[in-house]
Structure 1
Amino acid sequence: MELKSVLVVDPVDGEYTANVKISGTKIESVDRAHGNPRAIMMPGFVDTHSHGAAGVNSMKMDHAGLEKWEEFLYPHGVTFLLPSTVSALKKDMLRVANQVSSYMEEKARTSIRGVHYEGPYINVKKKGAQNPETIRPATLKELREVLTDDVILVTMAPEIDGFFEALVEMKMQDVVVSIGHTDATFAQVNKAFEAGCDRMTHFPNGMNTLHHREVGCVGAGLILPFKLEMIVDGFHTSPEFVKLVYVIRGADNIILVTDSIDATGLEDGIYDLGGLKVTVNEGKATLDDGTIAGSTLVFDQAVRNFRKWTGCSLVELARVSSYNALTNLGIRNRGRIKEGYIADLVVMNSELNVVETILAGKTVYKL
């Protein structure tokens, strides 16, 4: 396969017109060319925080549901997805992890690349739309049971009992820990950072706010070199806040995520999130008390929003939509448009609407 005269947007080498040749699952060559490009090519989008879409709920899905979810995301440019749990009982966490592992074993080519446990080792004071009945401290005994080979990201609060022991255990297993659903002080967050935790979950949601006498979690995210997940849907974060974080921290430290739920792509109505009733009205998902409960955001819309709200360059857009997430997870063979890399690619028009998605060298969506 060869894609001629595209504007290559590589997060490291920049943007230039080129002909991109794919052989098997990898990029064989990227040859610079002259003339006006016909389309924009970026590394395929990476969503490391999503609870479902198209009627599929991560906590209830089967093989067919996971396949439906994956295929729903192709027209939105997603080539790497971590199905994410909510706080749950051990048996339910393992069911999700085992379902994902089985799916990955059976599918030779898939965007499903592992599991993100969002909880249950969080602070109940900042539970958001998490079920408080399942929130609990972390223990090494439980962690060793639930950390299967395909769990690669876990959201935890640094102030809970067992956090630092858990952090050591997960670093030994190459599991990335992200700070979230937390009421920690700046000092507690800083201690976690110094211990090797350098990521925050859906910043600044699910954490205490900035105060001039205790800058807390939000202050820590703005001061310390964390990688910050952000849900840029206009509900979780306003355009002005997104611009603020972009100006202060820069595109190199932002990771776009959707935090989408099963209502994504469907009509407004009543849905379920970890046993809690969620109402979706005009695209906004909330609990009965008004708490935001995930999103109905699709990834390509997040990309367009970020570009519009920040005025970022296309190269910066490639970083926040794929490269930053992958490098944070230690994945080095994806996220570039370069010889030898896995050919996970998204082709877009000038309005950043997806026209083609390529997964491991195969076109899985074409407008």
Structure 2
Amino acid sequence: MSNRGFDLDERVAARRDRDLYRDLAPVDRVAERSYFAPDPGAGLPVLDGRQHLVFGSNNYLGLTQDDRVQQAARDAAEVVGTGAGASRLVTGDTLAHRDLEMQLAEVKDTERALAFSSGYAANVGTIAALSPDVVFSDEFNHASIVDGCRLSGADTVIYDHCDPASLREEMTHRAETHAGDESWLVLTDSVFSMDGTVAPLADICDVVEAFGAWLLVDEAHATGLYDYGGGVVQREGLEDRVHVQLGTLSKALASQGGYVAGSESLVEYLVNTARSFVFSTGLAPPAAAAASEALHIARHGECRDRLWCNVAQLRTGLEDLGYEVWGDSQILPVVVGDRATALDLAEAVREQGVVAPAIRPPTVPDGTSRLRVVPMATHSRSDIEDCIEAFRVAGEEVGLL
């Protein structure tokens, strides 16, 4: 009999052989300090006895443990319910969703916003629903943007990372080689999650406008961190030049879900056509309420200032040790080159009580393996100093310093 199934053991073994295998790592709490457990497989986790400083989370403002955010989630669960219970087009559209969307639209300075069940769903659903003829995508865009391009069926043109001149060249070539009217959509992250780079959005807007195209900016790693709790679009004052602002609630906003912000007609269209919205149960009301409260804190509190102070202190300390630190944001990639060295350094840093994950190909290009180091607003000054000391000791152990 023919075997038309899947040899998954062989596939897993192949990933191990290529040094691509990854384990899960359960933690007791999402915070600046956590107890970790080895991957238990199907069993229950058994936590290690040592607490580690966490410098690899996207919980940038440290709001997952904030009493106000937790209370907002509890209140929503008690009053509205623990889950939406249905697609929002059926009975799952609650006041918690509407409050969140009003806040997001105000922060993003748009007519409306729409909450999705995840940032991934927001990207895939929006790009596919817009159904452009051509997409121009930054080479380092997030996987959800890449998958959205594939699902849309559009011709995909890749331009060089954060390079408006490359974008202009690609758009010029397309205009010269393809006659007739086409719908064009340019896609970029604002802050890139593995490199910490910030897209030159004003220059990108200039190029987009020169060709009459539309621009979608994914603010997943920027929402809540810049002016008045907004993203890079708000910092640069580009709200009127970006057609689609998109992001997540699961990073600085300490919750779960995603959003799209834009015109009234954009939101109405997505409500009716974005399959990841139409055919998904609505975002859980406690998640919506937690994100609303976190956004309020980001807008009016001091946590953003504390984050950027920690970023500056940590960057300076790592560079003073002799490390090569990339990025222009809260994400500080410590680039070491080859895969093995990155893994060794991450393990040595962990032995010093600090968790900072190694990132290696194919997630990043060959020769640029790194540790992705990210402080939180809730790290103390001594926490930052402990992280720097851990990198000093670990770097000497693996021969980098």
- TM-score by shorter chain over 0.5: no
Question: Normalized per residue, which structure has more helix?
Answer: 2
Q: What's the TM-score once normalised by structure 1's chain length?
A: 0.29
Q: Which structure would you say has the larger Rg?
A: 2
Q: What's the TM-score once normalised by structure 2's chain length?
A: 0.27
